[in-house]
Amino acid sequence: MSTPIRHGGDLLAAVRRYGRPAEDWLDLSTGINPDGYPVPALPADAWQRLPQDGDGLAELAAQAYCAPQALPVAGSQAAIRTLPQLLKPGRVGVAAQGYSEYAPAFARAGHQVMPLAEADFARGDLAARLDHLVVVNPNNPTGRTLTQDTLLSWHADLAARGGTLLLDEAFMDCTPALSLAARSDLPGLVVLRSLGKFYGLAGVRCGFVLAEPALLAALAEQLGHWTVAGPARAVARLALADHNWQAATREHLRQAGQRLAAMLRAHGLAPVSHPLFSWVPRADAALLHDTLARQGVWTRLFDAPASVDATPSLRLGLPPAQEAAWQWLDAALASACAAMSMDMHQDGSTQAPSPTQPR
């Protein structure tokens, strides 16, 4: 049996482990905008009618992402699970420190998964030894961002051999000028976008695949009818058309991301910053995760990948736009860092205590 894949947002696991009720947590375990799109009341027919493919959502998404065409899907996850079955089996490069659903999806479809270290993404010849390449840009959790020129060079190398560059842009809405969505009609290029992160609408399970028409048609055939629910389609149309909210949110997230990174640095940490999260690689990440959790701050712990030389790390999402939440995090960081410093001076240990060990 394979090991279950862990994700952020698992607050009930924190409740069970630490015995603190759900309402008494500051949940920073995801990279989701905590002040997401304000969803209004929906018309009754969004709930009562079957979802309608001709409602304009695909065209609106293509316009919003400056893409030639778009296919709405039930979140990026639906595409991640299905796309590998549509690509010829081969060697696929996947970041070892990245979104954990890609490797098993490609392995199930008969591909040979090649784990990539972060240093590999600085190599201009990365695609030369691969048939397909998955790139999350910006990467989650490391925050790595790649230029359009680098990505197009890798794509050209892959496409010349009938391969595919699968580009996950789930965190791209904060910096849309870096997107390759406008080039997504190129053979061998697939771009994924989502409403979950920037829009804070992970619960609607709505994303988009941007690719050449033949691949979109094959994917739609595999997924079948009504893949995105009617209420989700209604919310997506509203959010994608609200340009004023998008512009204001980009500025808000830019400032909030900078504030989070500055706060972490003030407590002696060394974050890599993205507008929606900060990533903190450190050997004692498990201890910091546990110490913050005992103060009601839930973060996302990443173990060091066994396949590459890497360091354990934490990802902290943004607190909501309430000053009390930021003060809670500031106080928790001060207490956690002081406690860890004292523990290290006393016994030199940087190991996290057992989940059942009182402290």
- Tokens 């949110």 — which residue? 249
- Tokens 């560059």 — which residue? 165
- 20: nearest Cα among 349, 216, 292, 264: 292
- Average pLDDT, stretch 202-222? 97
Q: How confident is the model at residue 352 (pLDDT cuts 50, 70, 90)?
A: very low
% of residues, the chain, pLDDT over 90: 88
Is the separation of the CB atoms in 260 and 31 below 8 Å?
no
- Average pLDDT, stretch 240-263? 98
Inform me whether the pLDDT recorded for 353 exceeds 60: no
DSSP character at residue 164: E
Spell out a b/e string for 168-197, using b for 16 or more CB atoms within 10 Å of the CB, else e.
bbbbbbbbbeebbbebbbbebbbbbbbbbb
> Mean pLDDT, the chain, as a whole number?
93
Q: What is the pLDDT of residue 1?
A: 38
Going along the chain from its start, the domains and CATH numbers come out as 11-36+245-347 (3.90.1150.10), 46-241 (3.40.640.10)
Q: Phi first, then psi: give them for residue 52, nearest 5 degrees.
A: -115, 120
Separation between Cα atoms, residue 91 and residue 83, nearest integer Å: 15
Please tell me the pTM assigned to this model: 0.92
Inform me whether the pLDDT recorded for 349 exceeds 90: no
Is the separation of the CB atoms in 165 and 154 below 8 Å?
yes
Is the separation of the CB atoms in 20 and 292 below 8 Å?
no
